[in-house]
Structure 1
Amino acid sequence: MLKVTCAIIVRDGLVLAVQRSKKMKMPQKWEFPGGKLEDGESDQECLIREIKEELHLDILPGGKLPEVIHKYPDFTICLIPFIASIQSGELHLAEHQAYQWLPKDKLLELDWAEADVPVVREFLKIFHQMKKEIFKSITS
């Protein structure tokens, strides 16, 4: 099983999605950026390293979402998602062919890699729950 981290990078109310290149497995599918854990590396160390390598950004990982285990035809992935913010850097794609900054309500319109779909849904669920709690605290 491949252990892979991914970052749900939020900036100015928008969420970053990246599109896999035609040369990658699952070509042209959208995903949250990240990559495979190396030996001796923590989940957060992996995420920070991968985002620096792939996007040239320094990030600060925040809340961790539930892991997703997904079986593709030729491999199984354990996807470890974190919500993250950008600390510094300018976004430059090293591996992916495109990126988009999207409002949360547009995320499900993309053609996501299958393992990322539950991550998108969980992120949206958490976001909507937070909005409800904030609204309750304001109106109480």
Structure 2
Amino acid sequence: MIRITNRISIPEEELSFTASLSSGPGGQNVNKLNTRVTLRFDLANSPSLSPEDKALIATRLGTRIAKDGMLRVVSQSTRSQHANRELAVERFAELLKSALKRAPVRKETRVSKAAKERRLEEKKLRSSVKRQRSKGNADNDRDM
């Protein structure tokens, strides 16, 4: 079982793995061994997820999901097929966990009276500085 959240776990039987030639490091084995691992998860037909969870994952991970409803995760960072498989599973779990994370509800707040007064005071100061500059420049231009 792959634990995603406290309430969601996905059995490994729902995942399918394929191995292929990797373009990464490998020395003499790079063109002989299938070290890149592709994890596929059928999101549309998964019995482990509720329809709401599926919809949320589909909207947040839409670019990673193919038209047939398969979520794909690829790992080819190591020379070992076994290590790449473990990394793919970890990345898959993190993707689902982040996609299922709910955004906190924003509480509406009001700007305090003191903050409004500070803002207006700063605007008045800035305005007076600019006014003094323009008057000063006008006097200097006339003298020349």
Q: Which has the larger share of strand?
A: 1
More contact order relative to length (CA 8 Å, sep ≥ 6):
1
For normalisation by structure 1, the TM-score amounts to 0.29
- Greater C-alpha radius of gyration: 2
What is the TM-score of this pair, normalised by structure 2?
0.28
